[in-house]
Structure 1
Amino acid sequence: MKAIKEVKVSKDVFIPSMVSVGTLAKLLRVKQDRIADIMYDLELGNSEYDRVLKADDASLIAMELEYNPVVDDVAAFDIYPEPMPSDQSSLPARPPIVTIMGHVDHGKTTLLDTLRSATVAAGESGGITQHIGAFSVPLNSLSVQTSGTNSKTVTFLDTPGHAAFSAMRARGANVTDIIVLVVAADDGVMPQTREVINLATKDSKVQMIVAINKCDKPGIDATNIKHDLLSEGVELEEFGGDIPCVEVSGLTGLGLDKLMETIIAVAEISDLRAEKNLRAHGHVLEARMEKGKGAVATVLVSRGTLNRGDPIVAGATWAKVRQMTDDKGRAVTSATPGMPVTVSGWDSLPVAGDEVLAPSPSKKAADEVKRAVTNRIREKEAETLMDDVQSINEKRRLDRRRRNDQLLATSSKGGNAAPAPAPAPASASAYAQDEDDGIKELRLIVKADVSGTIEAVVGAIEGIGNKEARVSIIQSGVGDVTDSDVALAKTTDGMILGFNVSVPRNVEGMASQACVPLHVDTVIYRLIEEVTARVTALLPKIIEKKVVGEATVQQLFGIKQGKATVNVAGCRVVNGILAKHKTARVVRNGEVVADCKLNEMRHLKSEVNEVRKGMECGLRFETYADFQPGDLIQAYDIIEIEPTL
């Protein structure tokens, strides 16, 4: 048997001639503590974040992590965040970033609407928030007295509460300082409430405040909610813990002053500060395509100052900031820490959650962001190659195990080993899913309005299915449905699924002519229901036979039909009803020996259409006559049961 060789691909890593320990950790995708351990073992001395290493020492560390180091300043170039200063007490204060979180329909957006005197909730499809909204609220408009350290404004992030937006909520928690957990007094602790609690407890840097909402409703007792939260591990201040709790009403404004005072108090204790005189650092909250502007993204600045005209990089794309607008749509020329802005001028659509970084100011700053993007794309392609190779090796390992099992089974029977099939070729088909595995697929091309929701929609639907039918995402993207989407769906025998997007009339007509299924909605749970229904329809029907009557053969009669003699079974009905032309089966000694229709049924000398329990009759089948006394004849109905996932 020919041995199956594993494909070996070395993991190249490009290293500059001089590199800091912190940057090297990012290049090698490990924590700085791991680099420190290796430097200790190699006796390389100080492993502080800003310690600069020569290429030789950096290469030794890379080889310890099974990389193949290649010293190349151009290929190794990237843009990294500045290290945090060890002493932040002298930095300027920044606004607190507060994320409103909680279960769906617990009143998060209504609460925020009351704070900023807007009506976003009325404009959200299905009454639930579908995106991450970022808003700056001036405290002087709320009549909140503060000490004035970092409390001129508060930046709020409003995250969706639906289960499908887990990734968006998690991303919101990663950029926030304070989480306001909204719990409806009339609903209590729900699944997304627990999820938020888990998010908050995992990050020790994030503070949590509980807001029990809808306290204006009659008969509400917030004490029960507080005890439920305590049982979930939320230790409120009134029970000796350190988590503040405020009773509010987003509808009437009850308790909102106290909530804001609590937020400011927690923020002042946290002493939130960030550099302003620094190149911009931030995160993409969401991204979308806008007519006349192209790709735009909501960016939350966390450190430094972002200016109009600055080149910036986010993930595998870059921008020269052409225009910036604040949360109220007003044009701004700069954005400081804690400020959310909409940025246009992107080369391509960034991904929600990407870190936004500006290079150090220089004449070559624009070239630097382009070079960084080029290197990031190359690294991504290399990672994809490594994943492919690992898939090939895993496929071959399984093939080798299966062949060994076959050889052992053959040898244990004393036979000769069957020749092994040829090894799988080292190509994409070697690790692609087998098409003959019997699993039916609903192939989808998914389109959404912003990158944050495309992530949420794909995450919500890609797990729908079971071992017999499942969802396969052929392609996903941001923007309206196009003719190329229809062409791809026709080629792959797929369906187009759209969330909060438009379908031009000509594209809709093209889909209709091509018989391409197209479903667009503005509420995510309706999309999930549609996909679930279509995947369920792919499942095989469950067929059951329901016995409606039974009779036993007492004796046989021979009836002449022309020159032939045909056997007729003389029977007694022992259960239910036997009807003419029903499908029936003949059971002998527990085994079915015939299965066909009842062709003729007589009671005494009269032909009848049905006979009931206790009656005697003569039965003749359409294609069977080899009866024996003692046979059991069962008439049955065929019932189709709709399958479920």
Structure 2
Amino acid sequence: MRRGASIADFAEKIDASPGDLVTVLFHLGEMATATESLDEATFELLGAELGYRIQIVSPEDEDKELLEGFDIDLEQELEDETDEDLVYRSPVVTVMGHVDHGKTRLLDAIRGANVIEGEAGGITQHIGAYQVWQEHEGEDRAITFIDTPGHEAFTAMRARGAQVTDIAILVVAADDGIMPQTIEALNHAQAANVPIVVAVNKVDKEGANPAKVRQQLTEYGLVTEEYGGDTMFVDVSALARTGIEELLEAVLLTADAGLDLRANPNKEARGVAIEARLDKGRGAVATVLIQSGTLRVGDAIVAGTAYGRVRAMVDDRGELVHEAGPSMPVQVQGLSSVPRAGDSFIVTEEDRTARQIAEKREAVERNAQLAKARKRLSLEDFKLALEQGKVETLNLIIKGDVSGAVEALEESLMKIEIDDTVDLRIIHRGVGGVTESDVNLATVDSAVIIGFNVRPDPKARERAAREGVDIRFYNVIYAAIEDVENSLKGMLKPEFEEKQSGVAEIREVFRSSKFGNIAGCIVRSGTITRNAKARVIRDGVVLADGLAIESLRRFKDDVTEVRTDFECGIGLGKFNDLQIGDEIETTEMVEKPRV
């Protein structure tokens, strides 16, 4: 049976009446309609009663069967390729390791750019993909890097990173040694059966002991070449930018020694969506890694449940490209919706085929979600729980700026251990700002909305205040997990809460050589106060946080505050990335006893 199948589907397979099966299930203490999606355990129960062994098909097999219906057989394609078709492709490398061991700083040193400043609290929240070039044995060779977040809440994303990877770089800090997530990352890489190169970082730090790291890792089957093993260890300092060349050399040597890095560029593109988000100006934007074939502008593409034509492609340096070959990461525009991180994408001959595949996948996904959401509770248990007033459900709606973050947050929340008296349900998840329809859904189902790196639009905020819907905003994932866990366990203590004090809309941007960019604004609500904490919001997504209103003027006069519907000039210090239409939101901290 497929995931999310119903009694009617089962009845069709065994040539029985759905009504009879509903009755059988009722006598087993389960209530379900003939068309309702059932979970695996319910099917097992029904099968055991009728003498059938029911097996739920894995999502991969299900998708393979679906594609075969459209004459697309990915495995057969690979088998049909000959040596003449295959050409060399660059290795795809995933950087893994414990949180704060310097993974992003290392990538930063490799790219010679600064990625780390844009991350909240210095913690990587998104997946990025970059291509760098290194001279090796007299020729320039490309290496594709995937930066996976190190926090354990992103295990799902990190595992996906390992699936598309040829080589894993395990970053271990020389002063810290082996930590829980180092082992976790190592397990992922070993499970994905990829060779590992160890980068011993922070070797220039006081108390650094690279030899101890080498010795600790021997316990996990990684033996350095110095001790007669086959794993390459490289001492690096991401801060001082030393050992970087040697690390890239080690990656290329490892690739040449044990991997057959070849792909056929002369066919329709196949690959994986590494990350995706919603951009108001450009629509759904997905970072994809091409694994074989060549992706061209104008191709009909389907990624998970999203489909469309490739309108434009941008490489990791922000330049427009017209085609991308194997191992090249590009940002693609033109999809109908936001695919999930880790969804595979394929190019089809016609738009119609892409749309049909996406729609069928969506129907399958919806049924699987319904089956997952269906709470198995027998009639006796339900009656008892109702009588004792024991059934309590916390409904959540999750909105985030990128799909990988939403998924990781959902997975982490579902892992929270709670007793049987409380149930946690995620009734909706999505990418983009919090909208009025999210608030409507929260009103109907008495849900709490969690926003991760996003803000609500004015209508949604107004509606939430009117309906009394609780919206919580976070930019670091463990704060969200901690809050939900504490509320489930009834431990939330009074604490300070951030409250919006004013919103100004940028009408004009004035450039000043002395003060930087000055935003000419009109105050839309509340009061803008000088020195207040501020953030800049573009299209519902937080562009910059932790700013302050450093200068506030009405015409030529310095003022301490400006009220609603008045115009003013706002200076945000060194922050200059301002555009007409952006919003500046000021906040204040107020003490709020939480129940």
When normalised by structure 1's length, the TM-score is 0.63
Match of 2:114 in 1: 119
Match of 1:295 in 2: 284
Match of 2:410 in 1: 458
**Residue pairs, 1:489-528, within 5 angstroms:** 489-528=442-481
Q: Distance in 2 between matches of 1:261 and 1:73?
A: 42
Q: Does 1:370 find its partner at 2:355? A: yes
Q: Give 1:442 deviation, angstroms.
A: 2.6
Aligned CA distance change for structure 1 residues 198 and 510 (closer, same or farther; 3 Å): same
Match of 2:273 among 271, 275, 284: 284
Q: Distance in 1 between matches of 2:67 and 2:92?
A: 37
Match of 2:144 among 145, 155, 162: 155
Aligned CA distance change for structure 1 residues 8 and 259 (closer, same or farther; 3 Å): same
Conservation of the 8 A alpha-carbon contact between 2:278 and 2:431: yes
Q: Does 1:110 find its partner at 2:97? A: no
Match of 2:589 in 1: none
Specify the code of the residue in structure 2 equivalent to 1:84: L
Match of 1:249 in 2: 237
* Higher Cα Rg, which structure: 1
Specify the code of the residue in structure 1 equivalent to 2:69: A
Q: Does 1:185 find its partner at 2:178? A: no
**Residue pairs, 1:65-144, within 5 angstroms:** 76-77=69-70, 79-81=72-74, 83-85=77-79, 89-90=83-84, 91-139=86-134, 144=135
- CA RMSD between the two structures: 3.3
Match of 1:553 in 2: none
Match of 2:396 in 1: 444
Conservation of the 8 A alpha-carbon contact between 1:214 and 1:250: yes
Q: Give 1:385 deviation, angstroms.
A: 7.8
Q: Distance in 2 between matches of 1:447 and 1:512?
A: 18
Q: Give 1:89 deviation, angstroms.
A: 4.7
**Residue pairs, 1:474-485, within 5 angstroms:** 474-485=427-438
Q: Distance in 1 between matches of 2:415 and 2:113?
A: 37
Q: Does 1:172 find its partner at 2:157? A: no
Aligned CA distance change for structure 1 residues 536 and 10 (closer, same or farther; 3 Å): closer
**Secondary structure at 1:198 match in 2:** helix
Match of 1:146 in 2: 137
Aligned CA distance change for structure 1 residues 378 and 515 (closer, same or farther; 3 Å): closer
Specify the code of the residue in structure 2 equivalent to 1:165: F
Match of 1:313 in 2: 302
Conservation of the 8 A alpha-carbon contact between 2:175 and 2:207: no
**Residue pairs, 1:470-619, within 5 angstroms:** 470-537=423-490
**Secondary structure at 2:176 match in 1:** coil
Once the two structures are superposed, what CA deviation does each residue of 1:18-60 show, in whole Å capped at 9, x if it has no partner? xxxxxxxxxxxxxxxxxxxxxxxxxxxxxxxxxxxxxxxxxxx
Specify the code of the residue in structure 2 equivalent to 1:310: D
Match of 1:352 among 327, 341, 362: 341
**Secondary structure at 1:166 match in 2:** helix
Match of 2:187 among 179, 194, 198: 198
Specify the code of the residue in structure 2 equivalent to 1:306: L
Percent of aligned positions that are identical: 41
Q: Give 1:233 deviation, angstroms.
A: 2.4
Conservation of the 8 A alpha-carbon contact between 2:399 and 2:454: yes
Once the two structures are superposed, what CA deviation does each residue of 1:207-251 show, in whole Å capped at 9, x if it has no partner? 110011000112322111111111122222222221111110110
Q: Give 1:470 deviation, angstroms.
A: 4.5
**Residue pairs, 1:20-31, within 5 angstroms:** none
Q: Give 1:450 deviation, angstroms.
A: 0.9
**Secondary structure at 2:355 match in 1:** helix
Q: Distance in 1 between matches of 2:485 and 2:324?
A: 44
Aligned CA distance change for structure 1 residues 446 and 74 (closer, same or farther; 3 Å): closer
Aligned CA distance change for structure 1 residues 79 and 351 (closer, same or farther; 3 Å): farther
Aligned CA distance change for structure 1 residues 78 and 129 (closer, same or farther; 3 Å): farther
Q: Give 1:506 deviation, angstroms.
A: 3.8
Q: Give 1:66 deviation, angstroms.
A: 11
When normalised by structure 2's length, the TM-score is 0.68
**Secondary structure at 1:466 match in 2:** coil
Q: Which runs of 5+ in 2 are unaligned?
A: 1-5, 14-52, 58-64, 494-595
Aligned CA distance change for structure 1 residues 442 and 371 (closer, same or farther; 3 Å): closer
Specify the code of the residue in structure 1 equivalent to 2:137: T
Q: Distance in 2 between matches of 1:354 and 1:74?
A: 14
Q: Distance in 1 between matches of 2:465 and 2:370?
A: 38
Match of 1:38 in 2: none
